[in-house]
Amino acid sequence: MDIRELLNGGDLRSIGHVDEVVEFVGNDQDRFNELMTGLTDDRPVVRMRSADAIEKLTRRHPELLHAHQTTLFQQLHTTPQQEVRWHLAQLMPRMTWTEEEASDIAHVLTDWITAETSSIVIVNALQAMFDLSVVHPQHRDELKALLETQLDAGSPAVKRRSKKLLQKL
């Protein structure tokens, strides 16, 4: 089965065959490695669906990410596609980062929160910052300020998430 071809077709508003790919890959590292190549595919729909499948798989099997941590860190810094960004934000707290790497990730996520137009990217970036702050508490003050700003300026979904995360802080 060619995973990337299974993820192709249709448009960015549908998930296509993502659930079938998730089932097929399971916790098989070799199949997961093949799925990871979809993040750099020329086709935006394949990149988006690959990111979606990776996110869904690693909820249950975060260990699959270990071999790809460096690649995902680089992707975080370079991908302009919002549908990939929102999944990358979800993936970052599932890996172990040094203080320096966590600070770098927080900086990228902060940029997304302040400049991105997609509410999904902003909500997922806020959640990722919160999740990272559990392990790296030095980012809590910055996170609190971002959440307070989003309470006033964000979309309804962003305001709801900001309120929820502020209560947990």
pLDDT at 10: 76
Q: What does the pLDDT look like over 66-76, one tens digit per residue?
A: 999 999 999 99
- Where helices occur in the chain by DSSP H, the ranges are 3-7, 18-25, 29-36, 44-60, 69-78, 82-91, 99-115, 119-135, 140-153, 156-168
pLDDT at 105: 96
pLDDT at 17: 75
Greatest distance between any 2 Cα atoms in the chain: 48
What are the boundaries of each domain within the chain? 1-96, 98-169
How many Cβ atoms from other residues are within 10 Å of residue 33's Cβ? 13
Which residues in the chain show pLDDT less than 50? none
pLDDT at 74: 94
pLDDT at 161: 93
pLDDT at 1: 67
Q: Are the C-beta atoms of 82 and 118 separated by less than 8 Å?
A: yes
pLDDT at 68: 95
pTM of the shown model: 0.90
